[in-house]
Amino acid sequence: MGDDAALVVGLGNPGPKYENTRHNIGFMVVDVLAGRVGGKFSAHKRSNADIVQARLDGRQVIIAKPRTYMNLSGGPVASLAKFFSVDPANVIVVHDELDLDFGTIRLKLGGGENGHNGLRSTSSALGTKDYLRVRMGIGRPPGRQDPADFVLKPFSATERKELDVWCEEGADAVELLLKLGLEGAQNRIH
């Protein structure tokens, strides 16, 4: 792969039980990206992930969904980065974010994991926190609901009405990152 190859990973949990949950917004966004390039996910056995190889905005891109549960997603991310020789600075992780209101999208490089097990696993496996993040805001749980329970629940009926558009916007954010870099993409989105 070229020096500018990028790895775009959507975080989520495998299986139909989790398919439409808040924790799987990363999977939903990369599904949109794969659809845009006309790709179908196929197993990449060496990494325990499903991938689509494509070109986006002139760059070689691997779009991926780990086949592991969220808290073990770092292994497949690091395996893919190594296999395709993608530097962590060119890894983009799309994930749910409790600290942002539903429908909000924010981009950043590095930082803490805020208790997000998928990010913690990814940082540990990559050996750095310095990778790009597309933070998809899901909001805080209502009342005293446990955040761990909240993220594994399906989106509300009201949220589902906006979900398709929001996933498209998440995919747009990834494409802007690939095309303009972090600062340029942040200027368009934030």
Residues 6+ apart with CB under 8 A from 97: 104, 106, 114, 116, 135, 136, 137, 138
Distance separating alpha carbons of residues 85 and 50, to the nearest angstrom: 17
Catalytic site residue from 23, 44, 95, 116 = 23
Tell me, yes or no, if 44 is annotated catalytic: no
Task: Say which residues have a Cβ less than 8 Å from residue 158's Cβ, sequence separation at least 6.
Answer: none
H or E stretch including 176? helix 157-189
131 is in an annotated binding site: no
Q: Side by side, which strands form the sheet with 132-137?
A: 42-44, 49-56, 59-66, 6-10, 91-97, 132-137, 105-109
18 marked among binding-site residues: yes
CA 165 to chain centre: 16
Any binding-site annotation on 13? Answer: no
Token readout for 159 is 């949220």
69 is annotated as contributing to ligand binding: yes
Binding residues for tRNA: 18, 69, 71, 117
Binding residues: 18, 69, 71, 117
Catalytically active residues, by annotation:
23
